Structure 1
Amino acid sequence: MAGERQSDDPKDIEDEEEAIEESIEVAGVPLVVWAARLSLFLLIQGIIVLGSYAYYGFATDPSHFGPGFRLDPIHAAVNFVWGLAGSVIGFFMPRLSISFMLAFAIFFTLFAGFGTFTADHFGMKLDATDNLLNWALALAGWGVGIYALWQGCLHEEEEEEREEQKQD
């Protein structure tokens, strides 16, 4: 049968256990990939708000929209772009998820910093709620990105130890 072991050699059993362990790691989806996939919400928000502006006119006051959708057109376009990039990376190119999350964190840190500490809002109408949400996105991006880098370093160290053990 295909599921039976061919030999009882401890080396073969160890190799089989490593193969099983590696398949479990591949089957799981890392947190950083899920975080990139969650940017789908920014994409959906951007589509809805930009669609609303296209329908009602770009001179419409954002306060006429529902909670969570009171963005000006530039802010909606920014969310649309980041949502599109994160969705594509999260679903189709997960190997780029760490880079995406770090770039996302850098951008939203700068975005929140400009919105909070300067009068220059790049033509957007940012209020305190927008700035708090941008800070939350930035902190979440930093947390997930740094955690993924740390996990990657641990995984590389484990691989190096396995290689050294195989050579001995």
Structure 2
Amino acid sequence: MAAQRQSNDPQDIEDEEGAIEESIEVSGVPLVVWAARLSLFLLAQGIIVLGSYAYYGFGTDPSRFGPGFRLDPIHAAVIFVWGLAGSVIGFFMPRLSISFMLAFAIFFTLFAGFGTFTADHFGMKLDIMDNLANWALALIAWAIGIYALWQVCLYEEEEEERGEGEA
């Protein structure tokens, strides 16, 4: 900002600061949108594992695959669906990112809970590492989703205060 301010009028200074804040807000991408976009990695993992099963046969033992890809076909399909949904939302419908993140958190909390505390794994072969990964995904999703909701609430409070100050 090499340009000098034309006047020292407080109203002009306030308008300039408001324009700067708006430009930063518009050009930035919120954390929750990046988190939804990161589900692209889940999509890739699901595609690779399901493609491997399609090639080698769905009766293949998951331990034959490399680390990070030792998912059974049902688990790979679940990962694929969540990865596809998150990628579409993150890249094409970012306004739904908070809802996606909270739904993701709820699902993976239930998924990890059933995998850890019950014998019913919905036909999937979940081991300790799968359950730990699901718990980690759930906790990260909760943290990001709740943080995004908190930011929205703060923004709405600021807007209300601005609205009352103008009236």
Report the TM-score, using the length of structure 1 for normalisation.
0.93
Q: Distance in 1 between matches of 2:163 and 2:21?
A: 16
Counterpart for residue 113 of structure 2: 113
Instruction: Quote the RMSD (CA, aligned, Å).
Output: 1.5
The CA deviation at 1:9 is 4.6
Structure 2 runs not aligned, ≥5 long: none
Q: Distance in 1 between matches of 2:42 and 2:102?
A: 17
Q: Distance in 2 between matches of 1:139 and 1:8?
A: 49
Query: Amino acid of the residue matched to residue 45 of structure 2?
Result: Q
The CA deviation at 1:164 is 1.8
Q: How does 1:89-168 map to 2 (within 5 A)?
A: 89-167=89-167
Q: Distance in 2 between matches of 1:97 and 1:37?
A: 9
Partner of 1:71, secondary structure, is: coil
Counterpart for residue 56 of structure 1: 56
- Percent of aligned pairs with the same residue? 86
Report the TM-score, using the length of structure 2 for normalisation.
0.93
The CA deviation at 1:63 is 0.5
Query: Amino acid of the residue matched to residue 38 of structure 1?
Result: L
| Count of residue pairs the alignment pairs up | 165
Superposed CA deviations along residues 92-134 of structure 1, whole A, max 9, x for unmatched, are: 1111110000000000000000001111101100001100100
The CA deviation at 1:163 is 1.6
Q: Distance in 1 between matches of 2:72 and 2:82?
A: 16
Superposed CA deviations along residues 43-76 of structure 1, whole A, max 9, x for unmatched, are: 0000000000001110111000000000000000
Q: Distance in 2 between matches of 1:90 and 1:6?
A: 42
The CA deviation at 1:11 is 2.4
Structure 1 runs not aligned, ≥5 long: none
The CA deviation at 1:14 is 1.7
Query: Amino acid of the residue matched to residue 64 of structure 1?
Result: R
Q: Distance in 2 between matches of 1:14 and 1:166?
A: 14
- Give the ranges of 4+ consecutive aligned residues of structure 1 lying more than 4 Å apart after TM superposition: 3-9
Query: Amino acid of the residue matched to residue 105 of structure 1?
Result: A
Query: Amino acid of the residue matched to residue 123 of structure 1?
Result: G
